Amino acid sequence: MQDLIRRTPEVLREKLNIEVMTGHDVSEIDLQARRIRIQPINGGGETFEPFDRLVIATGTTPIRPPVPGINGEGVFGANSLDDGSRLSEAIDRKDAKKAVVVGGGYIGIEMAEALLTRGLKVSIVDMLPQVMGTLDADMAALVGEALTEAGVDLHLGEKLEGFDEAGGTLAAVKTDKEVLAADLAILGLGVRPNTGLAEEAGIPLGIRKAIEVDDHQKTDEENVWAVGDCAQSFHLVSGKPTWVALGSVANKQGRVAGVNIGGGDAIFPGVLGTAITRFMDTEIARTGLQEREAEEAGLDYVSRTITGHLRAGYYPDPGQITIKLIAEKSTGRLLGAQIVGTRGSARRIDIPAVALHAGLSVEDMINLDLGYSPPFSSVWDPIHIAARQTLKLI
């Protein structure tokens, strides 16, 4: 994959006649002069690059809280391929036995799995009283159980205070409640949009300091576009600005901006915050609004959680899936869904995701003609059962 990344500039040049100036730092976007100020990373003088149209795709920066010891030996990020190589090498070199993962979100639990697989004892520290903050507490508790069963020590509701060194290397992770011995610490605290350049240039930022864009990915500034993790989106359910840093969203936004810059007319309708991951044999997925978000959006909602089989109940190993649906109380309109279950569960999230795009109600969902045969589901798919149970509350 490193090779692919290195080859990309060549391919862009040869196939699309796009010049890629890798190895340069951009230090200023000058909107008045319509140019950017750049400088080679390995030294050399500042130059300027003029533009007619500018696309800002500056991505994110990992969140690194300014606590004592954060830049010390043994504290690793989890944001790049290089981070992964460095961590892997350090496990061997230090003959590491204990790792503390700071952050219990997607990256945190993926790192926990990787470290368990490498034979380490793993703890997760999170400020929230639950892992997976994008799930409601009841669904997150199922993920917490899976982590605990796999041997991960959860330290929830604990705030990171710093890292202790001994003999020039990491010795412990300190929270506001305890001191956890650690050979390695991994930061999985998420990212923030990398929008300093845009802000300095006077381009308006919006929610969580992501760049404000319209549904064509255009910023407030003429001929300036922003796409990907540095740009905001609109939430398809609440209609409000939101910020989702995911490659799937970034790619769609890039396509929309490209069509528009090329003279076409494409709209990016928005996002649902659909996400999917797994920890060992437990699959996890969510889409749309969680309860907290429904409340924040001022929606009167009901929610229902069911547990069912992935395959026909009489089938060998029928699997288990827990589905939570959230619907608007007055109309029955689906607002969101969350799934935790055994292998094969998580992709069911696409069903409520498409339903949310289309504004379907839970009543509509009862009659969805989904794929049925015994190796793949019961005659009533668990999604149907969840919709039926939710409808009873409308």
In the complex, the smallest distance separating the C-beta of residue 2 from a second copy, rounded to whole angstroms, is 10
* Residue 121 vs 278, nearer CB to a second copy: 278
- Closer to a second copy at the Cβ: 200 or 350? 350
Q: How far is the CB of 167 from a second copy (least distance, A)?
A: 37
Q: Which is nearer to a second copy, 173 or 337 (CB)?
A: 337
Whichever of 51 and 380 has its CB closer to a second copy, that residue is 380
Q: Which residues contact a second copy by CB under 8 A?
A: 1, 4, 106, 236, 246-252, 255-256, 268-278, 285, 287, 314, 344, 346-351, 353-355, 357-360, 364, 366-373, 375-376, 379-381
Task: Work out how close the CB of 302 gets to a second copy at its nearest, in angstroms, rounded to a whole number.
Answer: 20
What is the nearest approach in angstroms of a second copy to the Cβ of residue 267? 8
Across-strand partners of 163? Answer: 173
In the complex, least distance from residue 6 CB atom to a second copy, rounded to whole angstroms: 14
Cβ neighbours for 280, distance < 8 A, ≥ 6 positions apart: 113, 116, 146, 150
| CB of residue 289 to a second copy, shortest distance in Å | 13
Q: 9 or 344, CB closer to a second copy?
A: 344
Which CB sits closer to a second copy, 224 or 236?
Answer: 236
